[in-house]
Amino acid sequence: MEKKFITTPIYYINDVPHLGHAYTSIAADVWARQKRGEGSEVFFLTGTDEHGAKIAQAADKSGKEPKKFADEISKKFENLTKMLNISNDAFIRTTDPRHEKYVSDFLQGLYDGGYVYKKSYEGLYCVGCEKYLTEKELVEGKCPDHDKVPEKQSEENWFFKLSEFRSKVERLIESDEIEVKPLSRKNEILGKIKQGLDDVSISRKSVEWGIPVPWDKEQTVYVWIDALLNYLSATEIFSKKDFWPPTVHVVGRDILWFHAVIWPAILLAAEKDLPKKIFVNGYFTVDGKKMSKTVGNVIDPVELVKKYGVDTVRYYVLRDFPFGEDGDVAIERLEQRLNGDLAGGLGNLVQRVLSLIKQNDLNLNSTKPQPSGKAKAIKKLTEEFKFQEALIEIWKLVADTNKQIADSEPWKLAKEGKKQELADFLQKTLHCVLEIADLVLPYLPETADEIFKQAKSLDLKPIFEKMN
């Protein structure tokens, strides 16, 4: 069996989960579910990123010890994955002592390999980003993402020789040995690499809430290095070492630099195999504005799931925006999708077909249809993260099948007692419904299960064996 390793970023716990976090997880989940359905062995990893100044500050504000704060917020993220029906195989936390030990040993390895040196540094640090910003990146003297003036910080830190890896990383991305998708993101990152790579600081003196640097206990490991290493430490902690390297990292565009440049360089230094693909998702905004607590426009995915159901939320975020591009979220459009595509389109189709079969007490041939050419093409779209296109194609099948029913008027056949003709027609239609259910399964697992369950209640056994 082929092994596939897919990851989401591990979520910062300085904030409560919002729809942007849910987006990355849902996308990765669709891919993971489809791969499992195809017979691959999948290791799907997610988790929480729990160290760093930002989190210590947030804990302090809420009057809690950092670890206690971390336990509470991490649980919220874990609950979100459950609410969203995310099929992750493991949930890693960077405060797990096994991860902390892994990071410590790994850093010692880099140090012993001669990739780390000490240097004083002065720069403009944005706590929101947890990174130093250059003058060029500021807008009116402020961090554009956090609308805050960065703090001038000067420290003596440990640095990783990132600059040594410039041409190697550039070549890996250019040649698609590490495939960065979509293409626009690949070009963007190559453009940045071409501007040159400075060595990066991998420790902090001023941050107490972190993993101590093993050879210098006055410093802690920079939160981003700690966080990136979750992908490796998790394979050890959860006994999945044979899944290395990652098949795909799904990441938001704001963290591509860390995943496409710093991460491969660190892995090269440690002589580890490199991830095969990095898929970059766009950003959600509300009324054109970035979702943030300060603006007060954060959409809580848990509330949405409670109100509209998990599959509606999953469907909406993947159907309304091409994955990879930014999107402006609107609840009215989610409601339209629910009433139109889901209830009116798919729901209506399934109910019509199943009730006609029930009412007429038909005994249909119930073997599962072979996947059609169309179904294979749709699965290919899903595999390539073209979720919107895949859903559009699936809903064309829904519309076609609904139209066939409207045009053929099977209820007339029933009235006229043309049982054989009716059976032939419904047989064909039932196969379409089952094919659709199979195609939506990775996207709408609850709905697909419900369709299979209802159809199973007709006692057409062989079709559903696969589901059990």
Distance of closest approach, residue 289 Cβ to ligand MSP, in angstroms: 10
- For residue 165, the SS3 value is helix
Q: Does 23 bind ligand MSP (CB under 6 A)?
A: yes
**Strands (DSSP E) found in 144-252:** 151-160, 179-181, 200-201, 203-204, 212-213, 216-221, 248-252
Contact (Cβ atoms closer than 8 angstroms) between residue 186 and residue 180: yes
Site string (214-233) toward ligand MSP, x via CB under 6 A: -------------xx-x---
Position among 5, 6, 10, 158 found at the interface with ligand MSP (CB under 6 A): 10
How would you class 136 by CB atoms within 10 Å of its CB: exposed for 0-12, middle for 13-18, buried for 19 or more?
Answer: exposed
Closest residue to ligand MSP, judged by C-beta, is: 252
Query: Among the options 146, 161, 240, 368, which is catalytic?
Result: 146
φ and ψ at 253, to 5 degrees?
A: -65, -25
Q: Is 293 a catalytic residue?
A: yes
189 contributes a contact to ligand MSP by CB under 6 A = no
Spatial CA neighbour of 90 closest among 36, 44, 59, 122: 44
Minimum CB distance to ligand MSP, residue 118 (Å): 25
Helices and strands, number each (H, E), in the chain? 20, 17
Comparing CA positions, the residue from 215, 210, 212 lying closest to residue 118 is 215
84/377 Cα distance (integer angstroms)? 26
Task: Give the Cα separation of 349 and 403 in Å (integer).
Answer: 10
Query: Among residues 4, 21, 51, 93, which is the contact residue for ligand MSP, using CB under 6 A?
Result: 21
Binding test (CB under 6 A) with ligand MSP, winner from 4, 5, 6, 9: 9
Q: Does 20 bind ligand MSP (CB under 6 A)?
A: yes
Using CB under 6 A as the binding criterion, the count of chain residues that bind ligand MSP stands at: 20
Secondary structure class of 157 (helix, strand, coil)? strand
Q: Mask of contacts with ligand MSP, 240-259, x by CB under 6 A?
A: -----------xx-xx----
126: annotated active-site residue: yes
432 is catalytic: no
Q: List 286's β-bridge partners, or say none.
A: 289, 329
Taking alpha carbons only, the member of 346, 294, 312, 269 closest to residue 110 is 269
Select which of 35, 51, 54, 129 is catalytic.
Answer: 129
Hey, which residues between 32 and 91 contact ligand MSP (CB under 6 A)?
49
Q: In this complex, which beta carbon is closest to ligand MSP, that of residue 26 or of residue 458?
A: 26
- Segment interacting with ligand MSP, rule: CB under 6 A, options 237-245, 281-289, 343-351, 400-408: 281-289
Nearest Cα to 10, choosing from 180, 233, 247? Answer: 233
Q: Amino acid identity of 312?
A: T
Does 118 qualify as catalytic in the annotation?
A: no
Nearer to ligand MSP, 21 or 352 (CB): 21
> Which residues are identified as catalytic?
18, 21, 126, 129, 143, 146, 290, 293
Site residues for ligand MSP per CB under 6 A: 9-12, 20-21, 23-24, 49, 227-228, 230, 251-252, 254-255, 281, 283-284, 291
